[in-house]
């Protein structure tokens, strides 16, 4: 048995309190995926990776020998295999050194963990509206891509972040640098999406699609102004326009900064339902080190208190801040011990949850273009223990299944960048 297989099997046995699907998913997310030529040829007929905001790859485009950035799917869905996995949706993160290889065996797509067959694989079919032509000539997947197996429309209105202007960006973020590499690679990649082109794309989705149930509006932070307006006004105009044209068609979500109550009320009045003021990492010291711009302009204490206070506007169950799971184990300023890292983050989970706010997490991808640079992924044990801590806190505080994420549980969850929804049975 190979090292990677033994490592996975050990964790499946050690953490049998977790669904095996969640453990496999977290390992694929932390180590990425690679594809054979045959598997990429098949992917040409399915939904491609749209690079909807960050690169979420473990290698730069310029180093991709097989032009993988143009040839791999957005997500894969794995099932079956020796562990009889229930259907599990996993975001694709390209890594040519990953032990996880998608290939074709006996005429069907499968994934191996090194030399052992792990599961069957499906690719997400191209949504019917992806074939529509926008008046600008841009692809539908550039303006309004879908994720989470079609459940979520992702609207990145502003593909840059002004914290980069002062070298104060979040240290795990490659937003601006990914924008540059996508443009260099020849991709149509819009810096600021106009309201009208988003509405045009949504009209096609509204007419042709039955799968999408929510949209996320987001983009880079605006510190000074953009197109003569501040961050609240910039994103508010998209929400107001979408909700005026398509009232109640989708669950509306926005990933923006932690605003004061007056600004939150304006977003709520404009039609925003779910508010994601992501706190990124727990603790003032780590927040200052990893999010220097946010620490300077808002500060950790103000940020987390605004998150809680915003529950008075949106309803506490509709405030769902994200943190970057694993970044507290970065080699520059993080923990080296798994248990210490989990205990530190668990403190934050309990702080929020006892105040009726449910944080969720995305799995840190050490992107080479981020300031932290490429580095080893946190151990799989960290993610297993984090999932247990998260689920225990969620259950202990009696919180509700979050709105806007689809169904919970193994075999049903579609959130593809961490397994937090997969562990809710």
Domain definitions of the chain by residue range:
3-123, 128-396
Longest dimension (CA), the chain: 60
Give one DSSP letter per residue of 223-291, joined into a string: SS-BTTB-HHHHHHHHHHHHHHHSTTSSEEEEE-----HHHHHHHHHHT--EEE---BSSSHHHHHHH-
Give average pLDDT by consecutive 10-residue segment, the chain, 425 residues.
93 98 98 98 98 98 98 98 98 98 98 97 98 96 98 98 98 98 98 98 98 98 96 98 98 98 98 98 98 98 98 98 98 98 98 98 98 97 98 98 98 98 94
Backbone angles phi, psi at 192, to 5 degrees: -125, 115
- Residue 379 tokens, joined: 């151990």
Report helix, strand and coil shares of the chain as percent, to nearest 5: 40, 20, 40
Backbone angles phi, psi at 282, to 5 degrees: -85, 145
Q: 367: exposed, middle or buried (C-beta count within 10 Å: 0-12, 13-18, 19+)?
A: buried
Q: What pLDDT sits at residue 425? A: 81
This prediction has a pTM of 0.97
Helix (H) or strand (E) holding 387, with range, is helix 380-396
Neighbours of 90 (CB within 10 A): 23
Picking from 48, 25, 61, 322, the residue whose alpha carbon sits closest to that of residue 174 is 61
Q: What pLDDT sits at residue 1? A: 72
Neighbours of 203 (CB within 10 A): 16
Asked if residues 246 and 202 have their Cβ atoms less than 8 Å apart, the reply is yes
Q: What pLDDT sits at residue 102? A: 98
- Residue 150 tokens, joined: 């079609």
Instruction: Using the structure block, give the residue that is written with the tokens 């699907």.
Output: 21
User: Under DSSP, is residue 396 helix (H, G, I), strand (E, B) or coil?
Assistant: helix
CATH of range 128-396; options 3.20.20.70, 3.40.50.2020, 1.10.20.10, 3.10.640.10: 3.20.20.70
Instruction: Using the structure block, give the residue that is written with the tokens 């197996």.
Output: 149
Asked if residues 169 and 176 have their Cβ atoms less than 8 Å apart, the reply is yes
């Amino acid at each position: 048995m190979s090292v990677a297989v033994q490592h996975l099997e050990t964790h499946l046995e050690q953490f049998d309190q977790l669904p095996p699907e969640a453990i496999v998913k977290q390992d694929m997310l932390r180590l990425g995926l690679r594809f054979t030529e045959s598997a990429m040829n098949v992917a040409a007929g399915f939904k491609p990776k749209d690079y909807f905001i960050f690169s979420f790859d473990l290698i730069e485009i310029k180093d991709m020998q097989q032009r993988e950035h143009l040839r791999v799917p957005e997500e894969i869905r794995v099932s079956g295999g020796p562990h009889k996995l229930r259907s599990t949706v996993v975001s694709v993160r390209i890594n040519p050194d990953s032990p996880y290889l998608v290939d074709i065996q006996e005429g069907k797509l499968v994934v191996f963990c090194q030399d052992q067959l792990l599961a069957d694989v499906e690719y997400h079919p191209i949504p019917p509206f992806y074939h529509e032509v926008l008046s600008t000539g841009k692809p539908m997947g550039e303006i309004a891509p879908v994720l989470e197996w079609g459940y979520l429309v992702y609207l990145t209105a502003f593909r840059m972040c002004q914290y980069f202007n002062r070298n104060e960006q979040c240290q795990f973020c490659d937003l601006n640098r990914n924008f540059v590499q996508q443009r260099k690679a020849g991709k149509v990649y819009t810096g600021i999406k106009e309201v009208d082109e988003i509405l045009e794309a949504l009209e096609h989705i509204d007419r042709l699609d039955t799968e999408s149930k929510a949209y996320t509006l987001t983009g880079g932070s605006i510190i000074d102004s953009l197109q003569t307006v501040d961050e609240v006004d910039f994103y508010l105009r998209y929400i107001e326009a979408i909700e005026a044209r398509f009232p109640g068609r989708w669950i509306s979500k926005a990933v923006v900064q932690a605003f004061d109550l007056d600004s939150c009320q304006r977003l709520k009045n404009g039609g925003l339902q779910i508010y994601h003021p992501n706190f990124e990492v727990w603790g003032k010291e780590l927040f200052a080190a990893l999010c220097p711009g946010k620490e300077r302009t808002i500060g950790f204490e103000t940020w987390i208190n605004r998150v809680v206070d915003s529950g008075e506007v949106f309803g506490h169950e509709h405030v769902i801040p994200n943190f970057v799971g694993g970044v507290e184990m970065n080699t520059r300023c993080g923990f080296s011990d798994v248990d210490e890292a989990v205990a530190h983050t668990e403190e934050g989970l309990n702080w929020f949850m006892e105040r009726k706010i449910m944080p969720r997490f995305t799995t840190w991808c050490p992107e080479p273009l981020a300031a932290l640079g490429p580095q080893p992924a946190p151990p799989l044990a960290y993610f297993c223990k984090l999932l247990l801590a998260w689920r225990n806190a969620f259950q202990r505080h009696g919180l509700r299944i979050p709105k806007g994420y689809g169904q919970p549980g193994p075999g049903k969850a579609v959130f593809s960048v961490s397994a937090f929804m997969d562990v809710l049975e």
